[in-house]
């Protein structure tokens, strides 16, 4: 499923646009795309609910568990993504802007 970068992730989720994604940054309201993002929100390819990743090194030198290749249009994040294991369980990869189930 091709990922689509959107400006409003909540609108994308409400519209059922699975695979939509948006970078987020702390203090980022309204969004400022010049800042280095702290993570990525996405509309889960499996269930259509909101998911979130936090990138490494963004929280006082700790941050979340994902790497990001710096590409804002076709991001690659590692390791794999597991959406809420209780309610959804979608598991896959975001590679070059493409969500792939595994
Ligand atoms: Zn899901």
pTM reported for the whole predicted model = 0.88
**What is the predicted pLDDT for the residue at 48?**
97
The Å distance, Cα 7 to ligand 1 centre, comes to 20
The tens digit of pLDDT for each residue in 79-94 reads 999 999 899 999 999 9
- Token pair belonging to 36: 């280095």
**What is the predicted pLDDT for the residue at 56?**
85
Q: CA 60, 24, 34: angle at the middle one, nearest 5?
A: 90
The Å distance, Cα 90 to ligand 1 centre, comes to 5
The Å distance, Cα 20 to ligand 1 centre, comes to 13
What are the structural domain ranges in the chain? 4-101
The Å distance, Cα 48 to ligand 1 centre, comes to 6
The tens digit of pLDDT for each residue in 34-50 reads 567 889 999 999 999 99
Whether omega before 30 lies within 30 degrees of 0, making that bond cis, reads yes
Helices (H), 19-91: none
């Amino acid at each position: 499923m091709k990922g689509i970068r959107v400006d409003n992730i909540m609108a994308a989720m409400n519209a059922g646009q699975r695979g939509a994604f948006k970078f987020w940054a702390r203090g980022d309201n309204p969004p400022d795309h010049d800042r280095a993002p702290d993570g990525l929100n996405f509309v889960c390819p499996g269930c259509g609910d909101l998911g979130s990743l936090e990138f490494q090194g963004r929280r006082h030198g700790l941050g979340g568990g994902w790497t990001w290749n710096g590409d804002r249009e076709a991001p690659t994040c590692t390791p794999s993504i597991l959406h809420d294991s209780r309610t959804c369980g979608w598991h896959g990869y975001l590679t070059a802007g493409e969500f792939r189930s595994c």
